[in-house]
Amino acid sequence: MVSAHQVRGVLLEEAILMLLRASGYSTVSRSRGDPTLSEGPAGLNVLGRGGKHQIDAIADLRIGQPFSNPQRLLVEAKAYSEDRKVALPIVRGAVGVLKDVSEYWVTNGPDQPATARRRYHYQFAIFSTSEFTADAQSYAFAQDVYLLPLRGSSFFSPVVRAIEDATEAIPADRNGRVDVVLSDVRYTLRNQLQPSLVVRPNGEFPWLRGVVSATSGLSQSNNY
């Protein structure tokens, strides 16, 4: 049993990944020998100088930039209720992750040569179905973290509404918990949004149809 909030988060992550793929990014769903990544029970981890960091979604820009390492976007998706704003601690956490993963290449000591490791130019974006507090906005601007409030977007708001409608359609117990497996929901939606990807078998969730329709319609409009 999981909460409806957890289901909303998974649906938002997959919708964002599909739209990033339509915008010139290659989404990263497996480590595939990348020495900067590892796979954990909750998804992909990005390795940093001080530890591993679980990331909601990862996408690489397909267009290379001259005199720069490949650009890798780290995404955090927040599917809070409309009246709950994303506050400063979330942005502080993103800044800490960004700093740590960007320093993964640092040597362990002055007498040890640098180890050849794949390096990326990392960026961090926080997508949210609710607004951000003023403190969170100021800190993100100063630290070069991108904040994207989706509900107020005339283009993305239909996807937000479809996600909320989908989770409300799932039968829940009196504590608001639903009997679904998050990984099955994720891969079912991914199969429907990105059928070209090879993913594992999934379940049947008819309440996902509205999310698929809204997200696919947005990607085809090229207006986001």
Give me the residue label for tokens 């409309």.
82
The pLDDT value recorded for residue 115 is 55
**Residue 224 clears pLDDT 70, i.e. is over it:** no
**Lowest-pLDDT range, 8-12, 136-140, 187-191?**
187-191
For the cut 50, the answer to whether the pLDDT of residue 137 exceeds it is yes
Give the model confidence (pLDDT) of 18-74 as tens digits. 999 988 999 998 898 898 999 988 789 999 999 999 999 999 999 888 888 899 999
Q: Are 160 and 215 in contact (CB under 8 A)?
A: no
For residues 105-126, average pLDDT: 72
* 78 or 42, greater pLDDT: 78
pLDDT at 116 over 50: no
pLDDT (0 to 100) of residue 106 = 61
Distance between CA 163 and CA 8 in Å, rounded? 6
Give the whole-angstrom CA distance, residue 162 versus residue 157. 9
pLDDT over 60 (residue 113): no
For the cut 90, the answer to whether the pLDDT of residue 89 exceeds it is yes
What strand order describes the sheet that includes 43-47? 37-40, 43-47, 52-54
For the chain, list the domains and their CATH numbers: 2-105+117-221 (3.40.1350.10)
**What pLDDT score does 197 carry?**
74
DSSP state, 40?
Answer: E
Structure tokens at 120: 């990326």
In the structure encoding, which two tokens stand for residue 133, read together? 């507090």
